[in-house]
Amino acid sequence: MTDATPTHEQPRNPLHGLTLEAIVSELEAYFGWIELGQRIPIRCFTQDPSVSSSLKFLRKTPWARDKVEGLYLFMLREKRRNEGRQD
């Protein structure tokens, strides 16, 4: 008999295992709140931004979370490209 439970391993998914808090914190550290608010113009990034207010909004708003995750993936690609230039 085989176990019918699916495995949830996603070794090639860069978002796997990351919390939303970690993603928002890293985006803020990389871009800063001003640029983050320009790239994704939502109030939690543009008016009195904080990680906690962002998390509250993003957890309730799937379309905004998708944009944040997309920007995070873009940031990872940009970091990799920049690292390649320094070698």
For 23-45, what is each residue's pLDDT tens digit?
999 999 999 999 999 999 999 99
Which domain CATH number covers 35? 1.10.720.30
Q: In the chain, how many domains are there? A: 1
Q: Is residue 13 one of the residues assigned to a domain?
A: no
Please give the residue range of the domain that contains residue 33: 20-86
The alpha-helical segments, DSSP class H, found in 1-87 are: 20-39, 43-46, 51-60, 62-86
pTM over 0.85: no
Q: Is residue 3 one of the residues assigned to a domain?
A: no
- Tens-place pLDDT, residues 63-75: 999 999 999 999 9
Q: Is residue 8 one of the residues assigned to a domain?
A: no
Q: Is residue 70 one of the residues assigned to a domain?
A: yes
